[in-house]
Structure formats: structure tokens, C-alpha cells
Amino acid sequence: MPKRKSNVKIENGKAVLSDEVLKIIESWRTEENSIWIDEYLNLLLNNSIIDCKKSRGHHIIPCFVFKDDTHKTRKETEPLADKIEGNIIELSICNHLVAHYYIWKIFKNNLDAKIAFQRSCKQENIDNLTQEEIYIIGRMEEECAKTNKTEEEIKAKNKEYNTIHREERNRKNREYNKTHKKEKAEYNKRYRELHEDDVKKKRKIYNEIHREERNRKGKERGNQQCYDPKENEYCTLYALNARKKRNKEKYKDVIPKDCVIKDEE
């Protein structure tokens, strides 16, 4: 499971839950589950962490509460849960398990809540588990778990994966682009029309940031050695492009970039 990044505000090492999150949690409160809501809030407010070597991101408002006739799967409900302000908190693996226990107790008759807890503690029969036993299971899970990867380790792993699978990904991209050429062109056209000002703004910013690099690469490309098939002589790509521009009829069948002399490997 990928580690979600916490977006809960932290002050003095403790979580400060957003008004939106608190309002939703309070809307669950009944006479039967009130004690478990208090336990859940206490866990979130007093046991959140800023940096832990073995932790997980946890949706405070679980994804399953967003299920309806339109949103039936985790893939469909998770974006809704992610829209809640400050809805992802970082918890130790042990406390993450306990958090799912409290959610199950709050939504006692909800199958999704029960399955989530079963999967978290890897136990089929959970009805008779005591809180002490749950903490024991949580501590064992945490002890056996791998430590969180640093940002540098994640980047290195992704780079390694991309290098290994580059050829396969490029092949699939070429196949997709070939079979969806028309759809992509129509989508890009609609996007540019709807976001014209935004596209221009981003392009301007990009050009400013990369101006020196683009100028350097442009000079390198322009200074590549070419063979002019009409004059039977060597020249630069700059020169060949200029000749074609001045003598369109003479060079109409010449593609300058195809005349670049490739270095032998």
C-alpha cells in the first residue's frame, strides 16, 4: 500500500483537526457509539506524529462513508475522501490498526468498516478481540514492518523502475498514440480552447525558466553538420534551413533534419 502524505495541521507535535473533519465526525455520534467516537478523537489528537520510521497515512473520514449509487468502489470514493480538508493523518502502524478498530466500533453494522479492520490486523475472527490484544497485534505488525522510505529512496526506486521498463513503456505509448491519435487531438484541442489563458501563462513561465537551456540546445541543433544534396557540399543545419527558405522550389523535396550527419556509434 502506498504511503499517503499527511495533510493535517500539526502544532506542538499534535494534530489540529479541521472544522470540516470535526463536523463530520460529530454527525456520526449516537448514544451507542459515543464512547468510541471519543476514543477515536483522543487517538487522533494525542497520538499523531510528525516523523515516524514506521507509519501510514490514514483517512480520518473513511472512504466507505462516501459510497452511494454512483460511487460504489474504493477507486470511486477515495477522491471524495481526499477532498475533505485535512483528512489524511500520519499514524504509527500500531495506532493505524487501533484507528480502524475504533471506526469498526463506530460503524458496528458496516461491512466495509469490519473488512478494513480485519485486513489491518490480518484476523478473520475479530468479534472477541480485546483492546489489549489489538495493541499487541499492532505492536507486532509495527515491529515486523519495513521502515518508511525516504524521499531520496523513493526517487531512486522510481528511477530504477523507469530505466528497466523504459523500452516497454515507450512501445506501449507509441501503440496507444497510434490507435488514439484522433481522440488525443480532439481532447488537446478542447483543452486548449477551455484553458487558453492558463496554457499561455504556463507556457510563458516555462519559457522563462528554460530559456537558456533551450537557446543552448537550439544552437547545438543548428550547428549540426549536414550534407546539402542540391549543392553537394557540407553545411550546418542552420544554413540548410536558410537555403530551403530562400529557394523553396529547389529544396521542396529536401527535409533538412534528415540530412544531418549522424555520428557513428
pLDDT digits (tens, 9 = 90+) for 74-101: 999 999 999 999 999 999 999 999 999 9
| pTM, 2 dp | 0.60
What's the distance, CA 180 to chain centroid?
24
Whether the Cβ atoms of residue 91 and residue 51 lie closer than 8 Å to each other: no
pLDDT for 173 equals: 87
Identify the three-state secondary structure at position 255. coil
pLDDT for 6 equals: 87
Distance CA 120, CA 101 (A): 9
Distance CA 64, CA 45 (A): 22
Distance CA 241, CA 239 (A): 5
pLDDT for 134 equals: 92
In tens digits, what is the pLDDT along the chain, a chain of 265 residues? 445 788 999 888 788 999 999 999 999 999 999 999 999 999 999 875 656 788 889 999 999 999 999 999 999 999 999 999 999 999 999 999 999 999 999 999 999 999 999 999 888 889 889 989 999 999 999 988 888 887 788 788 888 888 888 888 888 888 888 898 888 888 888 888 888 888 888 888 988 898 999 899 889 988 999 999 999 999 999 999 999 999 999 999 999 999 999 865 4
Please provide the distance, in angstroms rounded to a whole number, between the alpha carbons at the two ends of the chain.
44
6 φ, ψ (degrees, to nearest 5): -65, 140
CA dihedral of 56, 62, 66, 70, whole degrees rounded to 10: 40
Q: Determine what percent of the chain falls in helix, strand and coil, rounding each to the nearest 5.
A: 60, 10, 30
pLDDT for 133 equals: 93
190, amino acid identity: R
pLDDT for 1 equals: 45
* DSSP assignment of 48-61: --S--SSEEEEESS
> What's the half-sphere exposure (Cβ side, CA atoms, 13 Å) at 110?
20
pLDDT for 265 equals: 44
**Cβ-based neighbours of 119, under 8 Å, separated by 6 or more:** none
**Cβ-based neighbours of 102, under 8 Å, separated by 6 or more:** 36, 39, 40, 43
